[in-house]
Structure 1
Amino acid sequence: MSRYTGASPRVKAIVDRRAAGRCEKCGKATASQLHHRRPRGMGGTRRESTNEASALLALCEPCHRFIETAARDLSRSNGWLVRQNSDPLTMPVLYRGRRAWLDDAGQVDYCTHLTRMMLHDNVYGDYEQCADCDHQFTTDGGPI
């Protein structure tokens, strides 16, 4: 018997409530798939935090496919994917066009300063620091 490595029904309900039925990337289409910001890897994961609300996004199928296949570097830059050694709670995400942090209770905390993140590959400028959240951004809003 294989072990279940996905999100619990409680966590799925938190993410569904946060998404309100809309894709958490584009904000327009109906969310139909659950995406792990920190990939589970082959055979799943034993790290419980990988299946917490901060590590999950409700996405439409085209956005999910885009994140997983078309632009891995862009997906990491925008927080839709985070590296295995990163904590999704501390990694900002481009959430419906605005920089935000997701928590495990289903809250979205938007950065009130530089809210645009890198929307296209290789859009980098001079660096500056967000005064309130201590995260560094390029002058066009993209992360370092």
Structure 2
Amino acid sequence: MPVYYEDVGVGDVETHGDYEVTREEVLSFAERYDPQWFHTDPDRAAEESPYGGVIASGWHTAAMTMRLLVECTLADAATVGAKGVDELRWLVPVRPRDTLRIENEVLEKEAERPDRGLIRARTRTFNGDDETVFSMIGNVMYLRRDDE
């Protein structure tokens, strides 16, 4: 049964994980979408970058977060897209072999129209050391239940 706007409460928190980040995935994503050397050249990145090795693109981290968010919350929700994100932050580099998990907390609700409402939720992504590596506030549109 889908989760509608009315089923979500301010303060609700959901967690989900574990996403294993692979070296191949990091390199492949970066080659295609963010081909900066510290994402694509492990040898040079290990020697010359301040990160001491190749790191995932921030956009890849956002994509992995989205995958976890869909699995955690959105797959069962009556959502019809989003109006955007606020406060998008990359806080700690994500590396191959990291294991990611998310926490999604509902911050606000607004009944925008009779057929839908807006839910603002903070999503934080953590690595295996419990460091926050990524955060954002999503503005997601949820269908409202038909009250007959």
TM over 0.5: no
**Larger proportion of strand:** 2
TM-score, normalisation: structure 2: 0.21
* Bigger Cα Rg: 2
Flag the structure with more relative contact order, 1 or 2, with Cα contacts below 8 A and sequence separation at least 6: 2
